[in-house]
Structure 1
């Protein structure tokens, strides 16, 4: 198959590109600089510019572009960057795909923060109502940016992705660092749920929804057995054979991380209902196996 990939330079983009290449697929990367190989195509989402021919030749267009929410502080300017980096890239691709006579499937990255904040132990599926908060508002607009393509009959898949854990990048190496020193511990009360998934399962899920014509709409990409932060802490400490004596008080995280602390302290109990109903099989369905996969241990 031929994939067109936006956001190829990020952690997930690099991993997906390598995974697709290993499987023998052709991958064209959308880049904002001058292309340096036949496998790159220049685009400018800030000005709604992308080569329609490149998209028309694809079997799947995958958009993973978006500014890093882990950067702090979240100033007013950076909050706007978080928003526009997601919405402009998605809308640029959706508008072009809507005008193609035989468009490819459009896989658009989204996030579990769609469900908002303060939902405690509530089990959340793709049918649950959207939530409140800054990130929830961003995600709603992000998903709505796919609407032109969807209205035109394009098969659109929205990936409501949790924290993807792997030692090769993303948040996991930063999370694991104090644990390796024997300084890890739960965050706040530790009772908040963590929406997470192994990189191996995330990659497999992307291919799964692309290759099955019946897959469209929103899909939660999280563990089918969602752990609390305390359970994750215990699993990571056990896997690394390190004690976990140092809980981090919630007020410290709020003081140091500002708005980003919501990602660590306000949990969401997410269930990947539609992915399971479609027949997807997780290789790492629980926190212990996901941590082992992240550490590349069986």
Structure 2
């Protein structure tokens, strides 16, 4: 199959490009600078510019572009978070709508769209989006794909939890306190904390691309939701470190502002669509997902 990737320079983009190329899929990378390889094509999503020739014959378009949310959300940075997702999706959707054979269009999205704190309520793809900055971003982000959908593309939005891998920036930040012996639960620890292994995220992208019955939002999280306390204990066990120093919610909200709710807000997400279409998780538990994330890095993290 021919895949066209936007956001291929990020952690998930690099991993997906490697994974697809390993199975001999054709991978075209959209880049904002001058192309350095034959497989790269320049584009300018801020200006809505993309050469349609790059998309000819594409079976799947994947948009993973977007500014990192794990830093303070100043007014200027909020605008960047929003526009970096919406402009890329809109540019790809407009281009896809002009093709004679509309490709499958897969966009990354966020589990944070369900709201800041959803308590014990189960969140399937049928659940409504909530309130807050990220919920508003997700509405615009997913909505920007409308031109492709209206032109006949099958459009799916991956509402993904925290992807666990030793190279993932988010996981590196979460695991750092444990490496230093300072780890502990975040807030009460009772909040549901959606996670997924990199392996299963990669497999989910392929699954969505290859199953015509999948469209709209698709939750990509462990099949059995876990709390932050359960994740914390599993991470401490995997790293052979204690988990004795909890971080109070007020500290997180003071330091991180609204972003703190991505850590202390509860989101009991269920990957209902994946499960209904026969997807089986390689790493269905926190322990399995963490073992996969750390398998090549354990000696460095644990000197014993």
Give TM-score, length-normalised by structure 1: 0.97
How many correspondences in the alignment? 297
* 2:238 matched residue in structure 1: 239
Contact kept? 2:214, 2:273, Cα under 8 Å: no
- Structure 1 runs (4+) deviating above 4 angstroms are none
Following superposition, the deviation at residue 217 of structure 1 comes to: 1.7
Distance in structure 2 (CA, Å) of the matches to 1:267 and 1:170: 21
Structure 2 equivalent of residue 91 of structure 1: 90
Contact in 2 for aligned 1:56/1:103 (Cα 8 Å) = no
Q: Post-superposition shift, 1:259?
A: 2.1
- Deviation of 1:213 (Å): 2.2
Does residue 146 of structure 1 match 2:173?
no
Q: List per-residue Cα deviations over 1:58-103 (Å, max 9, x = no partner).
A: 11110000000012x2110100000000000000000111121111
Tell me what 1:105 maps to: 104
> Hey, what's the Cα distance between the residues in 2 that align with 1:161 and 1:115?
11
Question: How far apart, in 1, do the equivalents of 2:189 and 2:115 lie?
Answer: 19
Equivalent in the alignment of 1:292: 291
Which secondary structure state, in structure 1, belongs to the residue aligned with residue 87 of structure 2?
helix
Which digits, 9 at most, give the CA deviation of each residue in 1:131-178, with x for residues without a partner? 111100000110000111111111111111111111022211121121
What SS class does the counterpart of residue 99 from structure 2 fall into?
coil
Query: Any idea what SS the aligned residue of 2:116 has?
Result: coil
- 2-side partners of 1:117 and 1:262: how far apart? 6
Greater displacement, 163-172 / 210-219 = 210-219
Does the residue aligned with 1:43 lie in a helix, a strand or coil?
strand
- Aligned residue runs from structure 1 range 240-259, under 5 A: 240-259=239-258
Look up the SS of the partner of 2:120 in the other structure. coil
Q: 2 CA distance for matches of 1:19 and 1:69?
A: 25
Where do 5+ consecutive residues of structure 2 fail to align?
A: 299-304
Would you say 1:207 and 2:206 are equivalent positions? Answer: yes
Aligned to 1:69: 69
> 1:31-180 alignment to 2 at 5 Å?
31-71=31-71, 73-180=72-179
Q: Report the Cα offset of residue 183 of structure 1.
A: 1.2
Other-structure match for 2:186: 187
**How far off its partner does 1:214 sit?**
2.3
Q: Is the 8 A contact 1:56 1:104 kept in 2?
A: no
Cα-Cα RMSD: 1.2
* Alpha-carbon separation, structure 1, partners of 2:172 and 2:57: 37
d(CA) in 1 for partners of 2:229, 2:137: 28
Instruction: Look up the match of 2:302.
Output: none
Contact map agreement 2:117 2:261 (CA 8 A) in 1: no
Q: TM-score, normalised by structure 2?
A: 0.95
1:296 positional shift:
2.3
Checking the alignment, whether the CA contact within 8 Å between 1:225 and 1:287 is kept in structure 2 is no
Q: Residues 157 and 217 of structure 1 are in contact (CA less than 8 Å); yes or no, is this contact kept in structure 2?
A: yes
Cα shift readout 1:176-228 (whole Å, capped 9, x = no counterpart): 12112221100110011111100000000001111222222211000011110
